[in-house]
């Protein structure tokens, strides 16, 4: 069995997890699930980035110790992933002993290689971002990442010798032009950061103590980014006695990140790996941000939306579908209550839900719930639908493999809209009027069942419950729920449920929009 390792960023537990954080995890989950369907041995990693001044301050605000605070947040994160139906995964925390063991060894190895030296750092420091900036990095005197105030800070620190790797990172990108997607992000990184010349990176701090102490100088704690990036290795037991998973799963096949942390993953991360003599991940995919009508989500604007609140009201699959559908490849997309309700009603309720309901109702009405398999075409529209299924699946695969996730969903929903049209074209209610059209009618029903069955198999990674629900209502045997069986004409002995259960209840547009607005805080 081939192995497949996929990771999400490890999130800062600095507040309740919003829909943006959920997007990265749901996207990674959809990929992990699809790879499992394809038969890969998948390791799916997510977790929390628990150290640093920001977390230390947050805990203080709440009157808790940092450890108590992060324990509480880790519980919340795990509950959220359960609620959002995130499939089997490993959950790494940077406060795990396992992580600390690897991190210390990683540091020692880099130190022994001569990549770390002691010096002084003076620069503009942004506390929330925990990043130093040079004068020219600042935008109107403020942090270029978050726009907040920065202050001059000077401290003794250990540096990682990035300059030593300047040529190697350029060469790495020449040899691996597809490493970072989308391509325009690579251009940005190349032009704005690599080509102008790398600066050595300060990898320790003395101004706070909520972190892992350097093994050779306990006044210093590890800088959050060296700490955080190492999670992808520590979760596999790298440089510990139990490193089987490391041997099995490294290098990662794909690492999912948001556009805000590309610089860390596209420059420092491959360089750290070079220093350790390790291969870089095969792919780094940076997605865009979910934004609101008035720009970035933020508590102060009162425009935050939480995935669990949304899922409690409208169902997990609707939230998963919506996020995966609206986010275009690599760019920002807007969340609006209007678009959520519109997609829910049109794609899920009208197109998909109605197709299933009509199909089940007709099979019950005309055939007492049971139809025969029917691989032959009886109407002039059969071949057309069979071809659509085939080409849509091919399109789906190409889109999915190219991380065009939203388009891959369109490919699948094309089957649904064409199957709906097929009903209008074949007019089963007319065929039902005469006994001699019985075979034709059976054939039409069989085509509808097959369209829904194949759709349900492929939609599983995106909407796992809906997929199962469709297959159950259609009475599809286990053997016809696999990817191998997902082509036209495979299923047989169909006995559908006696009374169909709606997959998605139609939403009243205005009421629901108001409800969602109410949820936004």
Q: Scan residues 297-336 and list those touching ligand ME8 (CB under 6 A).
A: 297
User: Does the protein bind ligand ME8 through residue 261 (CB under 6 A)?
Assistant: yes
* Contact range with ligand ME8 by CB under 6 A, out of 9-17, 233-241, 359-367, 486-494: 9-17
Q: How far apart are the first and last CA of the chain?
A: 46
Q: How far is the CB of 330 from ligand ME8 (least distance, A)?
A: 11
Residue 11 contacts ligand ME8 per CB under 6 A: yes
By CB under 6 A, the count of residues binding ligand ME8 is 19
Cβ partners under 8 Å of residue 14, min gap 6: 54, 55, 58
Q: Does 157 bind ligand ME8 (CB under 6 A)?
A: no
Residue 85 near residue 27 (C-beta atoms within 8 A): no
Residue 290 is a binding residue for ligand ME8 (CB under 6 A): yes
Q: Does 10 bind ligand ME8 (CB under 6 A)?
A: yes
**368 contacts: CB under 8 Å, gap ≥ 6:** none
Q: How many CB atoms lie within 10 A of CB 509?
A: 14
- Nearest to residue 232, comparing CAs of 194, 264, 192? 264
Strand partners, 44: 6
The conformation of residue 487, written as its DSSP 8-state character, comes to: S
Q: Residue from 4, 5, 6, 20 that binds ligand ME8 (CB under 6 A)?
A: 20
The number of helix segments (H) and strand segments (E) in the chain equals: 21, 17
3 state SS for 354-405: HHHHHHHHHHHHHHCCEECCCCCCCCCCHHHHHHHHHHHHHHHHHHHHCCCH
Smallest distance, Å, CB 173 to ligand ME8?
20
**Binding window for ligand ME8 (CB under 6 A); candidates: 257-265, 339-347, 466-474, 493-501:** 257-265
For ligand ME8, which stretch binds (CB under 6 A), given 8-16, 160-168, 465-473, 485-493?
8-16
How near is the Cβ of 24 to ligand ME8 at its closest, in Å?
Answer: 4
**Piece of 17-25, 38-46, 272-280, 465-473 that binds ligand ME8 (CB under 6 A):** 17-25
Instruction: Give 50-86 as a 3 state SS string.
Output: CCCHHHHHHHHHCCCCHHHHHHHHHHHHHHHHHHCCC
CA distance 471 to 380: 27
- 235 lines the binding site for ligand ME8 (CB under 6 A): no
Q: Per rule CB under 6 A, is residue 95 in the interface with ligand ME8?
A: no
Q: Of these, 228, 393, 476, 516, which contacts ligand ME8 (CB under 6 A)?
A: 228
- For the bound state, the minimum distance from the C-beta of residue 406 to ligand ME8, rounded and expressed in Å, comes to 14
Touching ligand ME8, residues 30-69 (CB under 6 A): 49
Q: Does 289 bind ligand ME8 (CB under 6 A)?
A: yes
Q: What is the DSSP letter of 36?
A: H
Q: How far is the CB of 22 from ligand ME8 (least distance, A)?
A: 8
Does 182 sit behind a cis peptide bond, omega within 30 degrees of 0 on the bond before it? Answer: yes
For ligand ME8, the binding residues (CB under 6 A) are 9-12, 20-21, 23-24, 49, 228-229, 231, 257-258, 260-261, 289-290, 297
């Amino acid at each position: 069995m081939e192995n497949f390792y996929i990771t999400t960023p490890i999130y800062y537990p600095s507040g309740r997890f919003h829909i943006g954080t959920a997007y990265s995890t749901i996207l990674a989950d959809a990929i992990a699930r699809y790879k499992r369907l394809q038969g890969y041995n998948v390791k799916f990693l997510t977790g929390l980035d628990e150290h640093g001044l920001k977390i230390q301050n947050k805990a203080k605000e709440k009157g808790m110790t940092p450890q108590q605070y992060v324990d509480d947040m880790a519980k919340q994160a795990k509950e959220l992933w359960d609620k959002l139906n995130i499939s089997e995964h490993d959950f790494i925390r940077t406060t795990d002993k396992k992580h600390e063991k690897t991190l210390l060894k990683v540091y020692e190895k880099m130190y022994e290689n001569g990549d770390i030296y002691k010096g002084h750092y003076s620069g503009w420091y942004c506390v929330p971002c925990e990043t130093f900036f040079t004068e020219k990095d600042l935008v109107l005197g403020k942090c270029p990442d978050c726009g907040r105030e920065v202050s001059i800070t000077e401290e003794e620190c250990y540096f990682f010798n990035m300059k030593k790797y300047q040529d190697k990172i350029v060469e790495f990108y020449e040899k691996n032009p597809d490493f970072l997607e989308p391509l325009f992000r690579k251009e940005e990184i190349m032009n704005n950061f690599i080509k102008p010349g790398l600066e050595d990176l300060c990898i320790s701090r003395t101004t706070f103590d909520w972190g892992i102490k350097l093994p050779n100088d306990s006044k210093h704690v590890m800088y959050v980014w060296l700490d955080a990036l190492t999670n992808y290795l520590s979760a596999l037991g790298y440089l510990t006695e139990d490193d089987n998973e490391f041997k099995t799963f490294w290098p990662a096949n794909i690492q999912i990140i948001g556009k805000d942390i590309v610089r860390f993953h596209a420059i420092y991360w491959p360089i750290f790996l070079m220093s350790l003599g390790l291969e870089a991940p095969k792919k780094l995919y940076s997605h865009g941000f979910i934004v609101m009508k008035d720009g970035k989500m933020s508590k102060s604007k009162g425009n935050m939306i939480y995935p669990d609140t949304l899922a409690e009201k409208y169902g997990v699959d609707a939230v998963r579908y919506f996020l995966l559908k609206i986010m275009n490849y690599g760019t920002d997309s807007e969340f609006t209550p209007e678009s959520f309700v519109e997609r829910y009603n049109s794609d899920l309720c009208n197109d998909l839900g109605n197709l299933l309901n009509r199909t089940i109702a007709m099979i019950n009405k005309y055939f007492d719930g049971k139809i025969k398999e029917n691989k032959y075409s009886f109407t002039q529209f059969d071949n057309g639908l069979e071809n659509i299924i085939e080409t849509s699946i091919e399109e789906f695969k190409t889109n999915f493999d190219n991380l065009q996730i939203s388009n891959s969903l369109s490919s699948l929903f094309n089957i649904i809209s064409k199957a709906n049209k097929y009903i209008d074209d074949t007019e089963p209610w007319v065929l039902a009027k005469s006994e001699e059209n019985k075979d034709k009618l059976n054939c039409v029903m069989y085509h509808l069942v097959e369209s829904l069955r194949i759709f349900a198999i492929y939609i599983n990674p995106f909407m796992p419950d809906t997929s199962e629900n469709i297959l159950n209502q259609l009475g599809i045997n286990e053997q016809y729920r696999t990817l191998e069986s997902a082509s036209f004409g495979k299923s047989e002995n169909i006995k559908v449920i006696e009374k169909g259960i709606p997959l998605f209840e139609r939403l009243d547009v205005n009421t629901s929009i108001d409800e969602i607005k109410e949820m936004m805080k």
